[in-house]
Every structure is written in C-alpha cells, then in structure tokens.
C-alpha cells in the first residue's frame, strides 16, 4: 500500500526531466495524503507523444460512480488484479499516468505495539515516478473531476522489512512503454523499477496536517 508520499522538487526541475510545458503552482509537499490534489503526467491528448502535466484528485473515481465517496478506497490499485476490477479495468487499458515523488512513507509496528513510520527514497535518483491510472468523472451537478490511483505490488526485499506491499515505480527509460501500454505485459518488471532505502521518521508524520521538512 502507498498512502503517503512527498514531492519537494521545484517544478522547473521536474519540467527539465520530463519536458512538459505546463507550469503548475507546486509548493513543496512533505506529507501528501489521500484526497489531496497531486501532480501527474500523461501522454498529451492533442499530439499523442509529449507529456503533459495535470493535477488530479488522489483516489480514483470511476466513471460509473454515483458520487465521490468511493475515492478514499481507491488510492491504490493492486497490479495483480488491476485488469479485472471494474473500478480500474478501463483506465488500465486506456488512461495511464505517472506520478512524480521524492519519497514515500510506510508504517511498521514496533515491539511496544506502536506504529513507527519510515521514509523510503530511491537508491539512485532523488526524483522518481509511480505508475498510475487516471479517470475523468462527472458529478451529478455537472462538475468534472480528474482523479488518479497508484499501482502497488508485493514488496521486494528492499521494502519487505517494513511493509508487505510497495508502489509500482517506472524508470525513466520505461516511461513510454508504460504510458502507451494496454495490458499486463507493460507493467514494469523489477529491473525497470527503482530500488529503495529507508529510515525511521518522527511519528507526527501520521497527522495529515503535518507538512514540513522536520521529520
């Protein structure tokens, strides 16, 4: 599961890596939580080649949803079943995105029974991307909301000491294959994903209102 992450790189640094033309107002975010609006990148709808940036509600709202109440339950999509679940099936084959991050948080129970948060960073790069899906939903009153979810999979040995699952990431060299893919064969293999290191951080990160660099 991935339920908190950070994105603190300046927008211009992110633009240099991914080449999108948009310049969204993006202050540093040290503790991004579900239902926040987050930066995501997708293939430009107009030319089908370049990347474009958009801000999406974290927690996917399927097209057929009667309201947005399901969103908090759909912040992650299990890669093992993403092509089968009605909530994700269409987006998986036609609406993929990547979600930039500098790190993510996971929790593990300590010997005293309390949950200790840990912060994960990519071993080789300071900025990486999650594999995501996006959707556009129209509310009963006509409002259009773009939303997204992050793919997860069973943890590899670099994450397993803390949590049984991990977010699916996409190395830069594989981004085109992921975004243009339509089936399970295009889910990044372990060799096309980032490796991670982790360290414990202050428990106050569990409060979604805590959003600073003092963890």
Which residues are catalytically annotated? 2, 106
For the chain, the residue count is 215
What's the number of CA atoms in the CB half-sphere (13 Å) around residue 187? 19
Instruction: Map residue 46 onto helix, strand or coil.
Output: coil
- DSSP H or E run through 180: helix 175-180
Of the candidates 165, 140, 146, the residue with the CA atom closest to the CA atom of residue 155: 165
**Of 80, 85, 97, 106, nearest to 39 (Cα)?**
97
């Amino acid at each position: 599961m991935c339920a908190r992450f950070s994105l603190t790189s300046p927008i211009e640094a992110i633009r240099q890596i991914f080449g999108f033309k948009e310049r969204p107002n993006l202050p540093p975010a040290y503790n991004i939580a579900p239902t926040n609006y987050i930066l995501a990148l997708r293939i430009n709808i107009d030319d089908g080649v370049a990347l474009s940036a958009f801000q999406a509600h974290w927690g996917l709202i399927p097209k057929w949803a009667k309201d947005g109440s399901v969103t908090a339950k759909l912040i992650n999509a299990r890669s093992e079943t993403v092509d089968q679940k009605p909530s994700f099936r269409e987006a998986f084959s036609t609406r993929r995105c990547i979600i930039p991050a500098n790190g993510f948080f996971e929790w593990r129970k300590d010997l005293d029974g309390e949950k200790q948060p840990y912060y994960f960073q990519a071993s080789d790069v300071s900025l990486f991307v999650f594999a995501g899906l996006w959707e556009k939903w129209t509310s009963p009153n006509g409002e259009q909301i773009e939303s997204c979810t992050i793919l997860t999979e069973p943890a590899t040995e670099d994450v397993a000491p803390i949590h049984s699952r991990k977010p699916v990431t996409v190395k830069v060299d594989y981004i085109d294959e992921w975004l243009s893919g339509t089936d399970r064969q295009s889910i990044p293999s372990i060799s096309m994903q980032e490796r991670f290191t982790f360290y414990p951080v202050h428990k106050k990160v569990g409060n979604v209102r805590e959003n600073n660099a003092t963890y």
